[in-house]
Amino acid sequence: MAIEVEVQRLEIGDVVLAHLPDQGADVEATVVRAIDRTASTVRATLRVAGRDDFIKEWALGDLITIVRGP
């Protein structure tokens, strides 16, 4: 079951839908490191099987789709 939530609720271990430009579609990515939260953004390190980890940044209030929780 997928649920759309504000990015502020993101936790380590969550599996989110993330857009990768070279994939042409959203893929499931796992939050693998501590989440960096500032006054205006949330930044997380994501992992997709078979790829290098990457950092994704969202503005506060953005909605994300969580596929599975930790």
pLDDT of residue 68: 86
Kindly report the pTM of this predicted structure: 0.87
Is the domain spanning 3-68 CATH 1.10.3470? The answer is no
CA distance 8 to 61: 7
Q: Which residue has the higher pLDDT, 16 or 1?
A: 16
Close Cβ partners of 54 (under 8 Å, ≥ 6 residues apart): 45, 46, 48
d(CA 29, CA 46): 6
- What confidence tens digit (pLDDT) does each residue in 14-33 have? 999 988 777 777 899 999 99
Where do the structural domains in the chain lie, given as residue ranges? 3-68
